[in-house]
């Protein structure tokens, strides 16, 4: 990544460059609360070109402005929004009118942004939450799922299915598509078949999985009971006036009908929701068991991100679910597990492994051509006609193909490129917006990773940054450790051993934040030499936004000390 291009400093200076163009910008203007009419007259003076000029400058600085905000650095971006917004509004808003007209009491902050030709027709289509109706290049996988699951519509138990593939290969989208089809077909033919989707990244313990299933089925059962009660009660009141109406029903006598009504009411009372914590697991399990077995049905339980569940809580859940069928009387369940980790079955009990993996379906990564098709389908709905130059989709596809064929990344890129174009008031999304989007996404990832590092790792990383900023190349572990120690003393943090610091460096290496290689120093042993793999300025800003590290006011002396040592 080009480090210089998107540093906050560069952004700030460009920002102020944009404002200087507007000679009318005064201190008062920077204060969003100022509403003096004469101030607005001044704004009214600023010519349209001035307003456009500031727009143009925004296009290149929005990325930097975002970083300011994310990193919580008290930046100029706030000021920028305030003044920039007003500048933009000035040509369109009649401020004399504003004072008198109660109905139009905004200052036009959004008017200008709204008035431009929008690039998007329907941006939601590019978001991960959208389930597409068409999934190009997944026909084989979808057909295989359907071939296995069709048994459910015949009242038989489908084989369990295990789906594998890296992130962004369309597993969740395909599985959801198939389950929607399955449920709608089951309604069409009136066969009791239900699909339960659970995301195990969110619901990540056996207790929670079973509780969620139990409560879902309890709720469904309550609805079934309520329906039946309503019909039975109607029948009851008709039969009270005219007993022969019972003739055509399953109830021989009024007493039988009453007994049935009592029974249903008792069932409804008995069903107790599982609390989010607190019950013994076997009680949760038996509650789920009884709820699902309350009436005849085939249930497909989709466990998405199943590898996360196993990683966090072992394979008990899968073991318990996979042996349920032998004990259920009325219902049948089938499990569809979805995993991002190709090797996760290695950790499973062999019985679970063979039961869960009755059928396996692999989702290979998409290549660049396939990603193009996927993007083209979505872009047709998401963007206005002619909103993209010809090279936009191929470039998004190419970037994402490098990223292990990740369709999510491809869509993110396309959406972000569109947003950047829109913000810079461009008429059309072009190649440069895709490149900016690629940088922004990569930077967002880095910022997020760095922001969530444990404090000790942040201190280690800060030491590396200080060295790098002082022009040290091939930084070695000892150098990092020395600076690290001094930083710890400065902020009163525990000092870890050099051994532990070396481990933390390895972790930073694995996260792609530093790039470390082991070098042999002959008979002096081995050491690690490293450099920073992420942009210095942004990373430093994120580190300093941590309240503890923010206390380090002037780190220069530490680095100087290194050279004195």
Considering only residues 99 through 128, tell me which ones interact with ligand ADP, judged by CB under 6 A.
Answer: 128
Near Mg ion by CB under 5 A, which window of 170-178, 211-219, 402-410, 468-476?
A: 170-178
Spell out, one character per residue from 133 to 162, where the chain touches ligand ADP: x when CB under 6 A holds, - when not: --xxxx------------------------
Residue 45 DSSP SS3 = helix
Termini Cα distance of the chain: 34
Q: Cα–Cα distances in Å, from 362 out to 12, 36, 161, 163?
A: 48, 65, 11, 6
Between 15 and 172, CB nearer to Mg ion: 172
- Residue 172 in contact with Mg ion, rule: CB under 5 A: yes
Nearest approach, Cβ of 135 to ligand ADP (angstroms)? 4
Among 7, 15, 169, 339, binds ligand ADP (CB under 6 A): 169
Q: What angle do CA 428, 443, 51 make, to 5 degrees?
A: 40
Near ligand ADP by CB under 6 A, which window of 148-156, 168-176, 352-360, 486-494?
A: 168-176
Between 128 and 275, CB nearer to Mg ion: 128
Q: Cα–Cα distances in Å, from 410 out to 127, 267, 376, 394?
A: 11, 51, 11, 10
Nearest approach, Cβ of 301 to ligand ADP (angstroms)? 17
Among 173, 210, 303, 420, binds ligand ADP (CB under 6 A): 173
Q: How big is the chain, counted in residues?
A: 565
Nearest approach, Cβ of 258 to ligand ADP (angstroms)? 52
Asked whether the beta carbons of 461 and 450 are under 8 A apart, the reply is yes
Contacts of 256 (CB under 8 A, 6+ apart): none
* 182 vs 24: CA distance, rounded Å: 64
Spell out, one character per residue from 404 to 443, where the chain touches ligand ADP: x when CB under 6 A holds, - when not: ---xx--x--------------------------------
Which long-range contacts does 144-149 make (Cβ < 8 Å, 24+ apart)?
144/359, 144/361, 145/174, 145/175, 145/178, 145/336, 145/361, 146/178, 146/181, 146/182, 148/359, 149/178, 149/182, 149/300, 149/334
Asked whether the beta carbons of 54 and 18 are under 8 A apart, the reply is yes
Residue 545's region, left for phi above 0, alpha for psi from -120 to 50, else beta, is alpha
Q: Which residues pair with 164 in a beta bridge?
A: 339, 362
Between 166 and 384, CB nearer to Mg ion: 166
Between 85 and 165, CB nearer to ligand ADP: 165
Between 17 and 128, CB nearer to ligand ADP: 128
| H helix intervals, 90-195 | 95-100, 111-115, 139-153, 171-188
* 521 vs 524: CA distance, rounded Å: 5
Between 400 and 549, CB nearer to Mg ion: 400
> For residues 38, 39, 43 and 45, what is the CA-based torsion angle, rounded to 10 degrees?
40
Near ligand ADP by CB under 6 A, which window of 72-80, 132-140, 314-322, 512-520?
A: 132-140
Question: Would you give the DSSP letter of residue 315?
Answer: T
Select from Mg ion, ligand ADP, none the partner in contact with residue 170, using the beta carbon and a kind-dependent cut-off of 5 to 8 Å: ligand ADP
Near ligand ADP by CB under 6 A, which window of 60-68, 145-153, 164-172, 414-422?
A: 164-172
* 135 vs 168: CA distance, rounded Å: 13
Nearest approach, Cβ of 437 to Mg ion (angstroms)? 22
Between 411 and 504, CB nearer to ligand ADP: 411
Between 179 and 215, CB nearer to ligand ADP: 179
Between 129 and 497, CB nearer to ligand ADP: 129
- Residue 163 in contact with ligand ADP, rule: CB under 6 A: no
Question: Would you give the DSSP letter of residue 346?
Answer: G
32 is written with which tokens?
């969003």
Q: Which residue in the shown chain puts its C-beta closest to ligand ADP?
A: 170
Among 170, 365, 418, 535, binds ligand ADP (CB under 6 A): 170
Spell out, one character per residue from 337 to 376, where the chain touches ligand ADP: x when CB under 6 A holds, - when not: -------------------------------------x--
173 is written with which tokens?
């989208």
Residue with tokens 């069709």: 150
Asked whether the beta carbons of 240 and 261 are under 8 A apart, the reply is no
Q: Which residue in the shown chain puts its C-beta closest to Mg ion?
A: 172
Select from ligand ADP, Mg ion, none the partner in contact with residue 168, using the beta carbon and a kind-dependent cut-off of 5 to 8 Å: ligand ADP
Q: Could you give phi then psi for residue 199, rounded to 5 degrees?
A: -95, 110
Select from ligand ADP, Mg ion, none the partner in contact with residue 216, using the beta carbon and a kind-dependent cut-off of 5 to 8 Å: none
Between 172 and 416, CB nearer to Mg ion: 172
Among 165, 337, 405, 418, binds ligand ADP (CB under 6 A): 165
Select from ligand ADP, Mg ion, none the partner in contact with residue 136, using the beta carbon and a kind-dependent cut-off of 5 to 8 Å: ligand ADP
Between 175 and 555, CB nearer to ligand ADP: 175
Q: What angle do CA 22, 3, 79 make, to 5 degrees?
A: 30
Please work out the total of residues on this chain that contact ligand ADP, with binding judged by CB under 6 A: 18
Select from Mg ion, ligand ADP, none the partner in contact with residue 84, using the beta carbon and a kind-dependent cut-off of 5 to 8 Å: none
Residue 165 DSSP SS3 = strand
* Chain residues that interact with ligand ADP, rule: CB under 6 A: 128, 132, 135-138, 165, 167-173, 374, 407-408, 411
* Chain residues that interact with Mg ion, rule: CB under 5 A: 172
């Amino acid at each position: 990544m080009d480090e210089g291009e998107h540093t906050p400093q560069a952004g700030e200076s460009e920002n102020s460059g944009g404002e200087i163009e507007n000679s009318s910008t005064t201190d008062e203007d920077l204060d969003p609360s100022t509403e003096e009419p004469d101030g607005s007259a001044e704004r009214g003076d600023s010519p349209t070109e001035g307003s456009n000029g500031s727009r143009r400058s925004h296009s290149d600085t929005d990325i930097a402005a975002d970083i300011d905000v994310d990193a919580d650095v008290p930046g100029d971006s706030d000021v920028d929004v305030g003044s920039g917004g007003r500048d933009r509004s000035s040509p369109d808003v009649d401020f004399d009118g504003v004072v008198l007209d109660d109905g139009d009491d905004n200052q036009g902050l959004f008017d200008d942004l709204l008035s431009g030709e929008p690039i998007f027709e329907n941006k939601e289509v590019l978001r991960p939450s959208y389930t597409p109706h068409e999934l190009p290049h997944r026909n084989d996988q979808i057909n295989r799922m359907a071939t296995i699951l069709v048994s459910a519509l015949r009242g038989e138990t489908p084989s369990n299915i295990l789906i594998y593939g890296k992130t962004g290969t369309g597993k969740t989208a395909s599985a959801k598509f198939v389950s929607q089809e399955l449920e709608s077909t089951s309604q069409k033919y009136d066969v009791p078949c239900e699909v339960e989707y659970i995301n195990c990244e969110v619901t990540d313990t056996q207790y929670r999985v079973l509780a969620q299933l139990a409560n879902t089925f309890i709720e469904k059962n309550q609805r079934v009971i309520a329906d039946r009660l309503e019909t039975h009660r109607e029948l009851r009141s008709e039969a009270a006036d005219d007993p022969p109406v019972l003739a055509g029903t399953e109830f021989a006598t009024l007493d039988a009908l009453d007994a049935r009504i009592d029974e249903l009411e008792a069932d409804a009372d008995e069903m107790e929701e599982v609390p989010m914590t607190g019950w013994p697991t076997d009680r949760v399990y038996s509650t789920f068991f009884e709820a699902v077995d309350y009436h005849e049905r085939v249930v497909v339980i989709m466990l998405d991100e199943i590898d996360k569940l196993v990683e966090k809580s072992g394979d008990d859940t899968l073991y318990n679910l996979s042996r349920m069928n032998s004990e259920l009387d009325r219902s049948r369940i089938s499990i569809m597990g979805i995993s991002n980790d190709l090797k996760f079955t290695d950790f499973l009990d062999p019985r679970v492994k063979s039961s869960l993996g009755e059928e396996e379906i692999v989702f290979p990564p998409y290549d660049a051509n396939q990603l193009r098709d996927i993007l083209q389908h979505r872009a047709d709905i998401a963007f206005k006609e002619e909103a993209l130059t010809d090279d936009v989709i191929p470039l998004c596809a190419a970037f994402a193909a490098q990223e292990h064929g990740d369709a999510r990344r491809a869509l993110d890129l396309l959406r972000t490129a569109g947003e950047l174009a829109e913000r810079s008031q461009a008429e059309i999304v072009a190649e440069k917006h895709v490149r900016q989007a690629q940088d922004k996404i990569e930077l967002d990832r880095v910022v997020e990773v760095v922001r969530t590092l444990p404090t000790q790792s942040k201190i280690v990383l800060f030491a590396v940054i200080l060295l790098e900023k002082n022009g040290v190349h091939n930084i070695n572990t000892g150098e990092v450790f020395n600076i690290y120690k001094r930083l710890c003393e400065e902020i009163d943090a525990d000092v870890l051993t050099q051994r532990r610091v070396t481990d933390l460096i390895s972790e930073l290496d694995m996260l792609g934040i530093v790039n470390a290689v082991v070098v042999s120093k002959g008979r002096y042993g081995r050491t690690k030499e490293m450099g920073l793999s992420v942009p210095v300025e942004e990373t430093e800003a994120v580190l300093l936004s941590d309240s503890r590290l923010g206390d380090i006011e002037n780190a220069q002396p530490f680095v100087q000390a290194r050279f004195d040592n």
